[in-house]
Amino acid sequence: MSTTSNTPAPSEFERLPWPRPPEARRERPSRSAWQDAWLRLKRDAWAVGSASFLGALAVFTLAGPLLWPIDPAAPSLARLSELPSLGRQVRVVAKDTPETAARAATETVSRDTPETAPPAPAPGETLAAPPPAHLRLLGAPNVLGVRLVWQALPGAASYTVYRAPGPALLHAQALGVPLAEVPASPQPHYQDSFELGPGPWLYSVVAQNSDGDESPPSQPLKVDLEPGMALGDALSENAEARLGELISLKAHPMGTDSFGRDLLARLIQGARISLSIGLLAPLLALFIGLGVGGAAGLFGGKVDLWVMRVTDVFLALPFLLVAILLQVTLGLPPLTALVALSWVGPARLVRGQILQLREQEFVQASRLLGAGPVHLLLQHLLPNTLGVLLVAVTFAIPQAIFTEAFLSFIGLGVEPPAASWGTLCNDGIRTFLTSPHEFLFPALFISGTVLSFNLLGDALRDALDPKLRGRS
């Protein structure tokens, strides 16, 4: 290699003093293992995302009842299984009883129709097509009732009233649902109040003669209904409600359940229960495991041998059976099985760690220098076990939440007045096909929380694993 071209000036070859002052050196910054793990954790987008989600969840759970002071147990018969909505407005309308409807109908009939009665139906007579504008509304329609009246058709023995949701008839020639069969009378009429809701509806009538032949359907009558609510129900929502006025309803951002209870309030209550189980059970298990595993690891010998045999048996016990046995025999909530069985994992973990650490030089050195067992435990063994335990707990939390949901789902979870996410799922799945939100929201909360804890645990394990340090 040529050295002549770029030879530096002779002055550059002056020897520097030795030892050199610290500022003249090129040192790299040193980081502790925890600092390093923290840096790597912060760089992991999944970990940051999960931690943010869990932070938001903590606010939701703790501050939720203050921010959303709705009684999670208050039912509302007027608002069963409602889809999510924010403060919508409805008109307070009068509720029609069949009697008032019939009276109104006859009064109208006597005013509007000719005196002549239709001829009696003759057998075999063919039915004419209904004239246009055959079907009329009687009075003002609302969501509690739509009154229909139509002219009697000659030869008709009965009429069938059909209803279709507004847009349906635009692309299909279907008549919709047959609502009722109305017998022939001088002035046939019908009041519909079958599961009406706001929106456009299309009514049509088909006449039948005594042979069962059908006439062509009448020209459909379109009825647009605005949201409405009976006075009695409206008063429970808003004390100021008056007939005919618009009132604002309480908001249900996540809808209501099949008892009309606010789902958001129930989810907040459920979060408190699910999360406290999810946090308490693993922590309790961890402390038991720490004690048992620590004792086995520290004392060794016979203690260790027996502890390990006991954990072997515990590992073989199927979780669900223990949960059931605890309930059936001791009357304990099945969830206690979570603690009863899950201490085994931490115990074995702690024992293994301590056995490993005990043999390491820095612990041996400390012991030779006269450190007592308490000092050894607090100064050397625990801090070095902490990382592994932290990761174990992060994975135990979603497992506990998962298990709680599973137990609640098969009816072995928290007792009815309280509600966890699992019991909400269990309640919601019965009406899953008609109002899926009752199931989907708690399911989303469970999945999201478990997902976040899992992601965070993964990231934490990677960050704390010295083997992975610096690897991509």
Partner 1 sequence: MNGFFRYFLKRLALGVLTVFVLATATFTALHLIPGDPLLSEKEQTPELRASLMKQYHLDQPPLVQYGYFLKDLSRGEFGISFTQPNRKVNDIIRDHFPVSATLGLLAISLAATGGILLGSFSALRRGQALDRATLFWVILGVSVPNFVIAACLQLAISEFNQKTGTEWLPVGGWGSFHHRILPAIVLALGTQAFLTRLMRSSLLEVVHQDYVRTARAKGLSPLRIFFVHQLKNAVLPVLTYLGPSIASVTTGGFVVESVFAIPGLGRYFVQAIQQLDYTVILGLTVFYGSFLVLMVLAVDLLYGLVDPRISLEGRTR
Partner 2 sequence: MSSLLSVKNLQVEFRTDDGPVQAVRGVSLSVSAGETLAIVGESGCGKSVTFQALLGLLPTPPAQIRWDERSGQPKDWAMIFQDPMTSLNPTLTLGTQLEETLRARQGLRGQAARDAAVALLEQVRIPEARTRLGQYPFELSGGMRQRVMIAIALACRPRVLIADEPTTALDVTIQAQILALLKQLQKEQGMALVLITHDLGVVARMADRVAVFYAGQVVEEAPVQELFDHPRHPYTQGLRASLPEGHGTTAPSSSTSASPRRLTSIDGSPPDLLHPPKGCAFFDRCGEAMQVCRGNAPDPYPVSASHFSRCWREVRP
State the residues that interact with partner 1 by CB under 8 A: 312-313, 316-321, 324-325, 327-331, 398, 402, 405-406, 409-412, 425, 429, 432-433, 436, 439, 443, 446-447, 450-451, 454-455, 458, 472
CA 331 from chain centre, in angstroms, equals 29
What CA–CA distance (Å, rounded) separates 153 from 207? 8
Smallest gap from residue 20 Cβ to partner 1 (A): 40
What CA–CA distance (Å, rounded) separates 422 from 408? 5
Smallest gap from residue 262 Cβ to partner 1 (A): 22
State yes or no: residue 467 binds partner 2 (CB under 8 A). Answer: no
> CB of 122 within 8 A of CB of 155?
yes
Q: Which of 42, 43, 222, 309 binds partner 2 (CB under 8 A)?
A: 43
Q: Which is nearer to partner 2, 14 or 195 (CB)?
A: 14
Size of the chain, expressed as the number of residues it contains: 472
One-letter amino acid identity for 217? Answer: P
State yes or no: residue 5 binds partner 2 (CB under 8 A). Answer: no
Q: Which of 21, 23, 26, 111 binds partner 2 (CB under 8 A)?
A: 26
Q: Which is nearer to partner 2, 31 or 430 (CB)?
A: 31
One-letter amino acid identity for 72? Answer: P
> CB of 345 within 8 A of CB of 397?
no
> CB of 238 within 8 A of CB of 101?
no
What CA–CA distance (Å, rounded) separates 469 from 153? 88
**187 token code pair:** 């002035």
439 binds, among partner 2, partner 1, none (CB under 5 to 8 A by kind): partner 1
What CA–CA distance (Å, rounded) separates 371 from 325? 46
Helix orientation angle between 263-299 and 344-358, rounded to the nearest 10 degrees:
40
Cis bond upstream, residue 131 (ω within 30): no
Which residues are bridge partners to 150 per DSSP? 135
317 binds, among partner 2, partner 1, none (CB under 5 to 8 A by kind): partner 1
Smallest gap from residue 407 Cβ to partner 2 (A): 40
133 binds, among partner 2, partner 1, none (CB under 5 to 8 A by kind): none
27 binds, among partner 1, partner 2, none (CB under 5 to 8 A by kind): partner 2
Interface with partner 2 (CB under 8 A), residue total 23
Smallest gap from residue 452 Cβ to partner 2 (A): 22
- The helix/strand/coil state of 150 is strand
Q: How many CA atoms lie within 13 A of 164 on its CB side?
A: 17
* Segment contacting partner 2 by CB under 8 A, of 9-17, 235-243, 281-289, 416-424: 9-17
State yes or no: residue 15 binds partner 2 (CB under 8 A). Answer: yes
- The helix/strand/coil state of 228 is strand
142 binds, among partner 1, partner 2, none (CB under 5 to 8 A by kind): none
State yes or no: residue 459 binds partner 2 (CB under 8 A). Answer: no
**267 token code pair:** 């989810």
What CA–CA distance (Å, rounded) separates 183 from 426? 45
Q: Which is nearer to partner 2, 3 or 434 (CB)?
A: 3
Smallest gap from residue 82 Cβ to partner 1 (A): 20
- The helix/strand/coil state of 351 is helix
> CB of 124 within 8 A of CB of 156?
no
Q: Which is nearer to partner 2, 40 or 79 (CB)?
A: 40
State yes or no: residue 126 binds partner 2 (CB under 8 A). Answer: no
State yes or no: residue 22 binds partner 2 (CB under 8 A). Answer: no
Q: Which is nearer to partner 1, 108 or 327 (CB)?
A: 327
State yes or no: residue 23 binds partner 2 (CB under 8 A). Answer: no
Applying CB under 8 A, the residues found at the interface with partner 2 are 1, 3, 7-8, 10-16, 18-20, 25-28, 40, 43, 470-472
